[in-house]
Chain A
Amino acid sequence: MGNEEAVFFSRVLTETTLSFHIIYATIGVGVPLMIMIAQWVGIKKNDEHYILLARRWARGFVITVAVGVVTGTAIGLQLSLLWPNFMELAGNVIALPLFMETFAFFFEAIFLGIYLYTWDRFENQKKHFLLLIPVAIGASFSAVFITIVNSFMNAPRGFDIVNGELININPLLAMFNPAMPTKVAHVVVTSYMTAAFVLAAIAAFRLLKGSNHEYHKKALYLTMKVGLIFAVAAAVIGDFSGKYLAEYQPEKLAAAEWHFETEGNAPLILYGVLDDGEVKYAIKIPFALSILAHANPAAEVIGLDQFAEDEIPPLYIHYLFDLMVTIGIWMTVLSGVFWLGTKLRWKMVTKKWFRWLIVFGGPLSLLAIEAGWWMAEVGRQPWILRGIMRTEDGATTSGHVDTMLVLFALLYFVLGVGSVVVLRRMFRNNPVEREIEDREMEKGGDVL
């Protein structure tokens, strides 16, 4: 296998692993927070439905954590296996957050184990609740640290290269690079939002499929409300990300927006197709790109004309950008209407068709996560370390990458199907109505 093929297959394998991993990772970051909120509400309101909600989410969460952990281990090792030259260089500068991530992971793993096996061990539910705090902190900080590593790849800082040698290395400067604040905030907030909408989809689905239990209604209201809050936050941070890109990575913004000529009063292009360099069927919002980039309708936005041909990312990232933003806005509106509708007792929000929209919102949010990551990562091409190392120079020289790609694709297929089958069986065989009955019989109704 030639080196060009090794580079190609390394890219495909990394993309496959990450695309699969982030589904479970996003759930893994967001769900502990949701469990924590449910358990807290349950304790505060003295309402056993919320406690049960936390308990059932936790049970399903273990399955997703398991797949998240093993695929996370896979990508961790693949970084060195597929990109050895990159890791050798990066290891010198960015090892610190990578190392901190394992501590966060360690912390979460220990307390998740304890949390899962102490449900009936403490008299006081508050003690049990306390165990969730390190789980949620560990989960979120894993995301924070690993996103710092990724933001370093977009905005490498904290070292100088003199005659090919790395000198003046400053690990802290490398961590707190310009891409870090917006990236980290966006990743964490959209994980919370997505997890909330995925759980909302489950509750809406149960309500549609015959169960009309109070439990599901409480779950739906709680998750949609939390989802709304984080969806609004995600939009605000998205705006900051646009301003970051305009300042530090203008080629990514220009490629995502199909902004070819450097100009002021730049319009924002939504949708459309690219045909021989011509944008067709697009919606143009005047001045919006200038506002997004610099908060000033007349501001000049750097276009693709400022970059060498071989330093421009693929232009298809525009579609990914559209997909992500559209879903984000759609989910904000949907959860906003639901929240308002429930407050004002609109009939509409309890209608079947509305609940189906919520059901589709779960997978859609996951799709937006994927699209956002693809856009962010492909938008960095052709660099693996922007401005410093090109992707083809970071890849392995080993043959066999194609075979490994087949093996891993099979593995992810098995894990994906397996986790869905197990989760479905788990909850179908033990619906909440039966669990509430069982618990009442067991304890005479005294859960707390």
Chain B
Amino acid sequence: MTLEILGISVLWVFLFGYILIGAIDFGAGFFNAYSLLTGRQRILTNIIQRYLSPVWEVTNVFLVFFFVGIIGFFPKTAFYYGTVLLVPVSIGIILIAIRGSYYAFETYGTRGHKGYSFMYGLAGILIPASLSIVLTISEGGFVTMVNDHPVLDYWLLFTSRLTWAVVVLSIAATLYISAVFLTWYANKARDVEATNLLRKYALIWSLPTMITAGGIIVELRNHNPEHYSNIQTFWPMFLISLLMFIGTVWLIWKRRKYGLAFLLLLGQFVFAFFGYGASHYPYLLYPYLTIYDSFTNPAMAISLIVVFILGLGLLIPSLYLLMRLFLFDKDYVRGKGKYHA
């Protein structure tokens, strides 16, 4: 394996981490706000707050890790993506800022403040939509070079069916992932009411997730035939992903083994996400930027990898401790004891 592939694989793993725990986080914020509007707050809020409170800051780090890492390993991405993404990513940052701070205001400041919870619920659901634009742009066709500088065609971007398919997928998948996770978490907390409600949400959002995911592959056939044919070479990965999806929905439908259902969901997205990533190879921005011509110098690459391994040595035990204390601790999950500062 070359250093380039190692670098992009590591970053892809962290992006996946962000998408997964981000989705749980964003979706939970949305369900929390929705339950406020429909008067079901009593059922959901406790479960959601108990999971989210200790981990909200960690979610953000995954994102920071990804974008710092990609500049480190592939400095040319700063030039291309930095120039074209000013508007969409700025909107993303503003949404992240509103969501993060309003979450803290609501949770630690004035608990149950409707305005704050509504704002973070709404901002959260728009974050995946605003950031997923990057995936659309990476397919090529929206960026042209003018005087050696990349320029983004906003009109083309906003009128493209591919853009909207990706946006809808990101929202639907966020709600679906979040609902499946929370169903499992609520069930662990032995909260029957919350489990039933979240189970319903999981089933509702499973369908649009699958339909848009399929739609994107169809759209790609017109938009980027090279990528489309690459996707076909990886068909077994997408097939496994589909089977795992069916497994998750079936288990949730039958109210059985929510833990296994969540694991299958994890598998579904691992296969789809890495299948997509592998088929995108070797382009970072089609057709201008590949992982080879943007890779950093060897001295920096080696030092980044050394730091990365040392850093993981610190992180993995810490994350394990965090999960043991809050995700797998029976008393905490069931809300026994007052631990809050």
State the A residues within 8 Å of B (CB): 55, 58-59, 62-63, 65-67, 69-74, 76-78, 80-85, 87-93, 95-96, 98-103, 105-107, 109-121, 134, 166, 169-172, 396-398, 400-401, 403-404, 407-408, 411, 414-415, 418-419, 422-423, 425-426
Number of chain B residues close to chain A: CB under 8 A? 70
Looking at the assembled complex, report how far the CB atom of A15 sits from the nearest CB atom of chain B, in whole angstroms: 16
Question: A95, B300: Cβ atoms under 8 Å?
Answer: yes
| B80–chain A nearest beta-carbon distance, Å | 8
Given contact pairs A62-B104, A109-B61, a sample of 10 additional A-B residue pairs in the complex whose CB atoms are under 8 Å apart: A59-B108, A67-B104, A84-B80, A89-B75, A95-B73, A102-B68, A113-B322, A114-B54, A117-B340, A414-B98
> A residues within 8 A CB of B332?
117
Number of A-B pairs, beta carbon distance below 8 Å = 235
B57 touches A114 (CB 8 A): no
Task: Give B residues with C-beta under 8 Å from A.
Answer: 53-58, 60-61, 63-65, 67-69, 71-73, 75-76, 78-87, 89-91, 93-94, 96-98, 100-105, 108-110, 149, 296-297, 299-300, 303-304, 307-308, 311, 314-315, 318-319, 321-322, 325-326, 332, 337-341
A69 pairs with B100, CB closer than 8 A: yes
Contacts of A77 in B (CB 8 A): 67, 89, 93
- Closest residue of chain A to B299 (Cβ to Cβ) is A169
Can you identify 17 A-B contacts, CB atoms within 8 angstroms?
A: A66-B105, A67-B104, A73-B96, A73-B97, A76-B68, A78-B93, A85-B79, A95-B72, A99-B304, A101-B68, A113-B326, A114-B322, A118-B325, A118-B339, A134-B318, A426-B108, A426-B109
A62 contacts which chain B residues (CB < 8 A)? 104, 108, 341
**Chain B residues, Cβ within 8 Å of A166:** 297
Minimum CB–CB distance for B17 against chain A, Å: 11
Main secondary structure of the interface of A (DSSP, over half): helix
A398 CA / B339 CA spacing, docked (Å): 49
Contact of B71 among A55, A91, A407 (CB under 8 A): A91
In this complex, the member of A66, A87, A118 whose beta carbon has the largest number of chain B beta carbons within 10 angstroms is A66
**Contact B97 A102, beta carbon cutoff 8 Å:** no
- Point out the residues of chain B lying under 8 angstroms from A106, CB to CB: 58, 61, 65, 311, 315, 318
- What is the bound-complex CA distance between A120 and B110, given in angstroms? 21
Q: Choose among B57, B68, B83, B96 the residue that contacts A397 (Cβ–Cβ < 8 A).
A: B83
A80 near B318 (CB under 8 angstroms)?
A: no
Residue among B78, B303, B311 with the highest chain A CB neighbour number at 10 A? B78
Q: Is the CB of B71 within 8 A of A425?
A: no
